[in-house]
Amino acid sequence: MLLLDVTHTSHTRAQTGIQRVVRSAHAALAAHGAVAPVCFDPFLDGWRPLDAAEAERLEPGGAPAGSRGAKWTLGRRLRSHAARLAGRRPALPEAGGLVCPELFSPKVAARLPELFARTHGPRVAVFHDAIGLQLPELTPPATVARLPAYLRELRQFDGVAAVSEDSAASLRDYWRWLGGASPPPVQPIPLGLDPAAADAPVPAAGGPPRILCVATIEGRKNHGALLAACEELWDAGRVFELELVGLGRADTAAAALATIRRLRAAGRPLTWAGAVDDAALEVAYRRCTFTVYPSVREGFGLPVLESLRHGRPCVCSGAGALGESARGGGCVPLDAVDAPALARAIRALLDEPARLAALAGEARARRFRSWGDYAADLAAWMESLPARR
């Protein structure tokens, strides 16, 4: 039995990166063996198993939310508060391991020892990235402020499963700089992908090419450069449509959101769907010609591999974790993801059908890890960890 801390994801409909990882990893780990998802309930002031509504939020593919924030219903608050006053605390099962796949809050961190006490096997955290410290000017201030303490708190685990080689290196580098006692091992275990529904069809002939960008609209995703590149190409007479999918974050991407409004008001062929469910996202991938993922830096970058899984080439950074994904073919890896470089790459794919077809062939020829592969690798690595300190 594995305990799985899903405190945030069980209280949000958000479909952004970490939430998608948690939902998919939960399903894969449950298929691999017994898993007990739990949450820290601040109104109970303790850990407990999920109720039916919370468990339902762990199911992939639900309707997305308009924000990432956790929402606790009034009914849930009242039930937990009453249980606390009555001294009723649901028992957690004894477990042979613990996995914490979220960027947990300070409140959760302070109560992790209670979960550790219920676990007689390895205690592992999933590490996504340290981008808030690497690019603080493009990251929400609350995330930047939280990261130093979070990175220190990770040292109490028996091991940390990083989502990429680049993320693993960034965590090891930070701990080396921090000094102190020997930290736990950090193992890169790349994420999986959901299975493709079927072979993705070629877009119907006759319509303009459609470029898709799937990413939360926030500072480090670099939509401003993509929009500038597309405006340059539209001004030069290139005919194509741009579709954006993702939540908008005005705290770090106000300028990009303003540009989207301006371009749409000017009649440019630009659509912005906001957050969408899995079915709508599948449709978006199927009807696009290729994708652009302009992010400056990622811990993993699921949309790149999702694009390739659909047989759609992707223009993205060739550095860091994105470079790890691009190495297998099907991508146009860039040394810089500024507007001029993006414009050149997009222009080339629009003007060179043979190159676009060759990249699509490379994408279709690739083999991708499943979430089952991820669960099996994570479980095997956890079994290899030394006995608890």
State whether 226 and 148 are in the same domain.
Answer: no
What is the spatial distance between Cα 385 and Cα 196, in angstroms, rounded to a whole number? 33
Assign residue 15 the CATH number of its domain: 3.40.50.2000
Is 360 inside a domain boundary? yes
- CA separation (Å) from 318 to 74, 204, 326? 47, 30, 7
pLDDT at 68 exceeding the cut of 70? no
Is 261 inside a domain boundary? yes
How would residue 32 be classed by pLDDT, with cut points 50, 70 and 90? Answer: confident
State whether 188 and 310 are in the same domain.
Answer: no
**Cα 77 to the center of its chain, rounded Å:** 28
State whether 321 and 223 are in the same domain.
Answer: yes
Average pLDDT, stretch 124-142?
A: 92
Beta pairing partners, 59: none
Q: What is the mean pLDDT of the chain?
A: 92
Give the whole-number percent of the chain exceeding pLDDT 70.
94
pLDDT digits (tens, 9 = 90+) for 353-389: 999 999 999 999 999 999 999 999 999 999 999 866 5
Task: Give how many domains the chain has, as a whole number.
Answer: 2
Q: Give the list of residues 6+ apart from residue 313 with CB closer than 8 angstroms, or none.
A: 290, 291, 307, 330, 331, 332, 349, 356, 359, 360, 362, 363
Predicted confidence at residue 39, as pLDDT, reads: 96
Is 201 inside a domain boundary? no
Predicted confidence at residue 48, as pLDDT, reads: 95
pLDDT digits (tens, 9 = 90+) for 148-158: 999 999 999 99
Is 389 inside a domain boundary? no
Is 77 inside a domain boundary? yes
Picking from 11, 29, 334, the residue whose alpha carbon sits closest to that of residue 191 is 29
State whether 310 and 169 are in the same domain.
Answer: no
Average pLDDT, stretch 248-266?
A: 93
Predicted confidence at residue 147, as pLDDT, reads: 95
How would residue 275 be classed by pLDDT, with cut points 50, 70 and 90? Answer: confident
Q: Give the list of residues 6+ apart from residue 59 with CB closer than 8 angstroms, or none.
A: 23
Picking from 276, 262, 206, the residue whose alpha carbon sits closest to that of residue 239 is 206
State whether 216 and 238 are in the same domain.
Answer: yes
Is 198 inside a domain boundary? no
- Which span out of 57-61, 133-137, 167-171 was modeled with the highest average pLDDT? 167-171
pLDDT digits (tens, 9 = 90+) for 205-221: 568 999 999 999 999 99
State whether 218 and 337 are in the same domain.
Answer: yes
Predicted confidence at residue 204, as pLDDT, reads: 53
Predicted confidence at residue 181, as pLDDT, reads: 85
What is the spatial distance between Cα 141 and Cα 263, in angstroms, rounded to a whole number? 28
Q: What's the pTM?
A: 0.91
State whether 263 and 330 are in the same domain.
Answer: yes
What is the spatial distance between Cα 354 and Cα 335, in angstroms, rounded to a whole number? 23
State whether 361 and 374 are in the same domain.
Answer: no
Residue 278: HSE in the Cβ half-sphere, 13 Å Cα cutoff: 16
Provide the domain limits for residue 325: 210-365
Predicted confidence at residue 11, as pLDDT, reads: 94
State whether 153 and 266 are in the same domain.
Answer: no
Query: In this structure, are residues 147 and 112 in contact, taking their beta carbons and an 8 Å threshold?
Result: no
How would residue 278 be classed by pLDDT, with cut points 50, 70 and 90? Answer: confident
Beta pairing partners, 271: 243
Phi, psi values for residue 22, rounded to 5°: -60, -45
Beta pairing partners, 100: 125
State whether 187 and 53 are in the same domain.
Answer: yes
Predicted confidence at residue 14, as pLDDT, reads: 80
State whether 122 and 216 are in the same domain.
Answer: no
State whether 264 and 177 are in the same domain.
Answer: no
Lowest mean pLDDT among 35-49, 62-76, 102-116, 192-206: 192-206
Is 197 inside a domain boundary? no
How would residue 279 be classed by pLDDT, with cut points 50, 70 and 90? Answer: confident
Query: In this structure, are residues 10 and 39 in contact, taking their beta carbons and an 8 Å threshold?
Result: yes
Is 357 inside a domain boundary? yes
Predicted confidence at residue 287, as pLDDT, reads: 94
